[in-house]
Chains A and B, each alone.
Chain A
Amino acid sequence: MKLRYLSDLGKFVLWQKEVFRKPENWGMYYKELIRQMYDIGIGSLPIVLLIAVFLGAVTVVQFYYQMEGTLIPPYYIGYIVRDMMIIELAPMVTCLVLAGNVGSTMAAEIGGMRQKEHIDAMEIMGLNTSSYLIMPKLIAAAYVVPLLVCVAAIVGIIGGYLASVPADLFTQAEYVQGLRAFFIPFNVVMMLVKSVTFAIILVSVSCFQGYFVKGGSIELGAASTRAVVYSDILILLADYFIVVLLTQ
């Protein structure tokens, strides 16, 4: 069992050489890139927005609850929400959600193409399918996911506002004062580093699971599940290492 993980890892590493081959036809790859950007970006925007709004709202309400009656000034809540969204919640939660949404779809799509011999048919035409099916997805995700994460961070902060100011937990001025306090631009860099890393993890892990699927619909389902589980685990691990490395 452990050996299987090792041999999968080896296969994955060797496979990268095929994925990053020069395209046969830049135009077709570009068309595929645009389609993927649209699918990943627009396709997952609603769920990302929904989750971000509630993340921000819950964070604010919970911190208000924890800090009520302490000497910590209320405007701190704006500061806490902003940095939690930027540093951790927006990239992490967005990418976990995308792994479940985009990742499983990619695994199922590519796995289905494998099983229906579409990949063989493309190979026979003389196409390098590892590259055509995966590279545009990787590049699209590396561009679009950071944008989604930025949107999530902003929407989360708005969610925090909506849950607190209208409910009179504190004033708008206090929230805004918090948002503008102690801002460290490097945190945004950290957010972007995380987003790009997580995007690459979730796309390459999911595509790998789909591309090498065998058997029938049960195996396809299993591959799709593995895509999500492995992406999630690797994203969590990567999150930890990035934080450790970048906050030294």
Chain B
Amino acid sequence: MIRAEGIFKQFGDQEVLKGVDFTFESGKTNLIIGRSGAGKTVLLKILVGLFPPTQGRVWFNDIDYTNLDKKGILAIRKKVGMLFQGNALFDSMTIEENIRFPMDMFTPMTSLEKQMRVDEVLERVSLSGVNLKYPSEISGGMQKRVGIARAIVLKPKYLFCDEPNSGLDPKTSITIDELISDITNEEDITTIINTHDMNSVMEIGENIILLEAGRLAWKGNKEQVLGTVNKELDAFIFASPFLKKLVEAAKNNGKNSLENL
């Protein structure tokens, strides 16, 4: 469980987060949704400790992450995996070296054990056999999978994903979403995902918050999304006029109205 408590963040005189309170639950895919510039990445980076909040606290279970010393921070980080928006794969290393890096750095595992674990996680993300390629030699979707493989190689308890399907086609997006969601359930991880993709919301949104200009505008789950009366959520979902028409047509339940689209 990760809890954000009254998080404020300012850059200069720009107020990016204006008091966010929320509990991200374990074993679930928690979604932070909102438009570009709403402050999703900043919130995620505060949760994971890459930025200090201007005000507020982040709790990992009952540990106050915001007030830890360096040692405590590193101890928590060993339990954290993160998938970056741009993947952040080390481009001068092969896929295998990328995935092995955290093991090389932090574990006393033998070469053989590392090799087996690399093959195991690559298999888990359905990417067996690309071990010796470089990140630039594989597609965007595959890079995402490698990012996931590297993030989970040390069996984290917390997984953070910043826009895991930005730049991917809808079909690949869904497989990535499902992969993250499956891993979350299998390993009982607390997963937090930033996204502005409605497909993800409807597919894997077990616990959702909507950020709007740095404020928490709505919270709920995917079942509660469509029937919402919340104006901001409504505006976010139906940003596409086509979708709006489609849903209205479905509500009217008439063949005619669908034909008039």
A residues in contact (CB < 8 Å) with B: 24-25, 27-28, 116-118, 120-121, 123-128
CB-CB nearest 10 A-B residue pairs: A126-B77, A121-B88, A117-B88, A124-B82, A126-B78, A126-B74, A117-B84, A125-B102, A25-B105, A118-B88
New A-B contacts (19) at CB < 8 Å, excluding given A24-B106, A118-B88, A121-B84: A24-B105, A25-B104, A27-B104, A117-B84, A117-B86, A118-B90, A120-B50, A120-B84, A121-B88, A123-B77, A124-B160, A125-B78, A125-B101, A125-B102, A125-B106, A125-B154, A126-B74, A126-B106, A128-B74
Contacts of B101 in A (CB 8 A): 125
Find chain A residues with CB under 8 A from B78 CB. 125-126
Q: CA A243 – CA B70 in complex, angstroms? A: 41
> Which residues of the partner chain B approach A120 to less than 8 Å between Cβ atoms?
45, 50, 82, 84, 88
Residues of B bordering A, CB below 8 Å: 45, 48, 50, 70, 74-75, 77-78, 80-82, 84-86, 88, 90-91, 101-102, 104-106, 154, 160
CA distance A121 to B80 in the complex (A): 11
How far apart sit A24 and B105, CA to CA, in the bound complex (Å)? 7
- CA of A3 to CA of B183 in the docked complex: distance in angstroms? 50
- A–B Cβ pairs within 8 angstroms, 11 of them: A25-B106, A27-B104, A28-B105, A116-B88, A116-B91, A121-B82, A123-B50, A124-B160, A126-B77, A126-B78, A128-B74
CA distance A127 to B77 in the complex (A): 9
Rounded to whole Å, the gap between the CB of B107 and the closest CB of chain A is 9
Q: Are B105 and A116 in contact (CB under 8 A)?
A: no
Query: How many Å lie between the Cα of A126 and that of B82 in the bound state?
Result: 11
**Cβ contact within 8 Å between B105 and A125:** yes
Minimum CB–CB distance for B103 against chain A, Å: 10
Q: Which residues of A contact B74 (CB under 8 A)?
A: 126, 128
Query: A18: nearest residue on chain B (CB-CB)?
Result: B70
Task: Using A116-B88, A118-B88 as known contacts, say yes or no to A124 and B50 having CB atoms under 8 A apart.
Answer: yes
* Residues of the B chain whose Cβ atoms lie less than 8 Å from the Cβ of A28: 104-105
A89 and B141 CA atoms in complex are apart in Å by: 54
Q: Is A124 a contact partner of B77 (Cβ separation < 8 A)?
A: yes
Instruction: Give Cα A237–Cα B80 distance, bound, in whole angstroms.
Output: 45
Complex Cα distance, B50 from A117, in Å, reads 11
Query: Contacts of A116 on B, CB cut-off 8 Å?
Result: 86, 88, 91
How many angstroms between the C-alpha atoms of A24 and B84 in the bound complex?
23
